[in-house]
Amino acid sequence: MGNWYHYRTVEAAELKQRPEGEKVRLLGWIASKREHGGKIFLTLRDRSGYVQVVADKSLCDPAVFEQVSDISKESSVAVEGLVSQDPRAPRGAEVHVTDVAVVAKSEPWPITLSALKSPGFLYDMRHLTVRGTKTRATMKIRSELLNGAHRFFEENGYVWIQTPTFITSASEGGATLFQVEYFGDKAYLTQSAQLYEEAAICAFEKVYVIQPSFRSEKSRTRKHLTEFWHIEAEVAFATHDDIMEIEESLVHTMISAVTENCQGELSELQATRVESPELPFPRIPYDEALSIIEKKGFKIEWGDDFGAREEKAVSEEFEDPFFVTKYPVSARPFYQMPDPEDARLTLSSDMFAPRGFGEITSGGQRIHEYDMLVKRLKEEGLDPKDYQWYVELRRFGMPPHSGFGLGLERTVRWILGLSHIRGAAMFPRTPDRIYP
C-alpha cells in the first residue's frame, strides 16, 4: 500500500475553478456508485464536498476500469483523473479517471434503502450514518453555530472559561441530577456552569462557557437530551435588559455564521429559508404568554412554569424568536433576582424559538445580596450550607450581574426544523440511548 499522505492535489469543491483537462489527484470516500451505458459513475466525498468521478469503458485503461468496478461503497480511495467542466454533471465539474487505488476497503455497506425507514437502526449505526449527506450537513452547521458563538464572545471582550463536570449541589433543581459515586462519596454531573461563572466574573467581568450539561430528564420529549451542549455567559454590572440584548445578538451572530458559510449544507437540507432574525426580538410578559396558552384551551395555574405543550402553544403564534419576560418567582430557581416593582415576579426571561419549537435560552439577573440569597434558598427548602462558597461570594464584593444559558441542540433543531432534538447531536444521549 502506498503512502497517501501528500497524494491530493485538489479538493472536490475546488474542481469547478480548475481548467478543462487538468490532471488532478483526489482522496476521499465513495459515497455512491452506479453503472450506466458502459460507464461507472462514482460520487467521491471529501472534506470539502462531493464530486462525480467517471470511468468510461471505451476510454479508460481496461485494468483501471476493472479496479473501479471492484470498488465498494464507502471505501476510501485515491483517484487520479482529468477535469471535465460539464454543466450537466451534478456539481458542474467531473473527473475522468486515469488511475485509482483503494486506500482502505469497505465491507458491504449495512445502511440499505430499507434500513433508512428505521430511525432506531440508523441511530444504532450512527458511527457509520454520520457520513450520510444529511447528518454531515447538520453537523457542519452545528460546528458553524459554535464558531459564530466563539466569535461573538471574542469580539465582545469575554473570557472563555471551563468549569467542573463533577459537582456537589444542584443549580437547576435536584430532580434532574445524575448521581455518580466519587471515592465513597456522592457527587453529581453538572447541570449548568452558572454558579462557577458567577465566581469568575469578579475576575473577568464577562465570561462564557461552551460545554456539556447533564440532566436526568424523565420527560421524554422531542426537545430533551440527557447530555446537551450549553452555551452560557455571565456579565458583571449587567441588567436583565442588557442580558436579553446580549442573547439576541449572540443568536444573530451564530445564525449569520451559518448563512455566510453553510449555503451548500443548507441546500442539502432544503433549509435555504434560514436567515438571521431581525433585532430586537419582541418581548412579551409571562402574563401575556399565559393568556395565549389559556385561549388555546390549556389549563395552567398562574405561577407555574411552562411545559413542552405550553411552550409549543405560545411559540406557534410567532414566526421569529421572541422573549417571554417577568416570570413568577415560583417558576424560577432560587438565584433569580425578584422584580423590585413586583415581588411576585423575577427579572428573568426565556428566549423562545418560533413555530412551535419553544424555549432555547433562560436568563436574567441573579441575586447578588447575601441576605436575600439565603432567604430565597431557605424558601425553596434548600440548605444554604450546601451552597456555602456560592453564598459566600456575596460577602466579597459581588456586584449586580446577569447571565443566561442557551441550548445548542435546541438551536440546531429549530433552525433546521428537525422533528426530534436527537438529530442535532452526533451521538445523542437520551433516556433510551447511550450507544454508540
Residues that bind ligand ATP (CB under 6 A): 172, 192, 215, 217, 224-225, 228, 230, 359-362, 405-407, 409-410
**Shortest Cβ 381–Mg ion spacing (Å):** 20
Minimum Å gap between C-beta 172 and Mg ion is 8
Residue 22 touches which member of ligand ATP, Mg ion, none, C-beta under 5-8 Å by kind? none
Q: Which is nearer to ligand ATP, 265 or 310 (CB)?
A: 310
User: What minimum distance in Å lies between the beta carbon of 354 and ligand ATP?
Assistant: 15
User: Per DSSP, what are the bridge partners of residue 24?
Assistant: 81
> Which range, of 43-51, 252-260, 360-368, 413-421, touches Mg ion by CB under 5 A?
360-368
403 binds, among Mg ion, ligand ATP, none (CB under 5 to 8 A by kind): none
> Residues near 105 by Cβ (< 8 Å), separated by ≥ 6?
72, 75
Please, which residue, 45 or 410, has the CB nearer to ligand ATP?
410
CA torsion angle 170 171 173 179 (round to 10): -30
Q: Which of 176, 191, 362, 430 forms a contact with Mg ion (CB under 5 A)?
A: 362
Please say which residue, 49 or 333, places its beta carbon nearer to ligand ATP. 333
- Comparing CA positions, the residue from 351, 404, 397, 350 lying closest to residue 153 is 404
Binding-residue total with Mg ion (CB under 5 A):
1
The binder of 96, among ligand ATP, Mg ion, none, by C-beta within 5 to 8 A per type, is: none
CA gap 89, 293 in Å, rounded: 51
Give the integer Cα–Cα distance in Å for 276 and 361: 17
Among the candidate windows 59-67, 231-239, 318-326, 356-364, which touches Mg ion by CB under 5 A? Answer: 356-364
Pick the closer one to ligand ATP by CB: 264 or 307.
Answer: 307
Nearer to ligand ATP, 253 or 362 (CB): 362
Residue nearest to Mg ion (CB): 362
At 380, list the grid cell: 425553596
> Which of 161, 252, 245 has the alpha carbon at shortest distance from 210?
161
Instruction: From residue 150, give the alpha-carbon distance in Å to each of 22, 109, 143, 249.
Output: 40, 37, 11, 13
Closest to 251 (Cα-Cα) out of 259, 240, 261, 262: 259
Q: Which residue minimizes CB distance to ligand ATP?
A: 407
Which listed option, ligand ATP, Mg ion, none, makes contact with residue 329 (CB within 5 to 8 Å by class)? none
Of the ranges 217-225, 270-278, 357-365, 373-381, which one interacts with Mg ion (CB under 5 A)? 357-365
Backbone φ and ψ for 102, nearest 5 degrees, come out as -85, 125
Q: What letters, b where the CB count within 10 A reaches 16 and e where it falls short, cover 123-134? A: bebbeebeebee
For the CA atoms of 420, 421, 425, 426, the dihedral, rounded to the nearest 10 degrees, stands at: -10
- Choose among Mg ion, ligand ATP, none what residue 228 binds, the Cβ cut-off being 5 to 8 Å by kind: ligand ATP
Among ligand ATP, Mg ion, none, residue 230 binds (CB under 5-8 Å by kind): ligand ATP
Binds 409, which of Mg ion, ligand ATP, none (CB < 5 to 8 A, cut-off by type)? ligand ATP
Computed on alpha carbons and rounded to an integer, the radius of gyration of the chain in Å comes to: 26
CB 362 within 8 A of CB 354: no
Q: Which is nearer to Mg ion, 213 or 362 (CB)?
A: 362
User: Of 52 and 213, which CB lies nearer to ligand ATP in the complex structure?
Assistant: 213
d(CA 69, CA 52): 15
> What interhelical angle do 408-416 and 240-261 show, nearest 10?
50
Using CB distances below 5 to 8 A depending on partner kind, what does residue 317 bind out of ligand ATP, Mg ion, none? none
Supply φ then ψ for residue 292, to 5 degrees. -60, -45
Look up residue 78 and give its amino acid: A
Shortest distance in whole angstroms from residue 91 CB to Mg ion: 43
Residues that bind Mg ion (CB under 5 A): 362
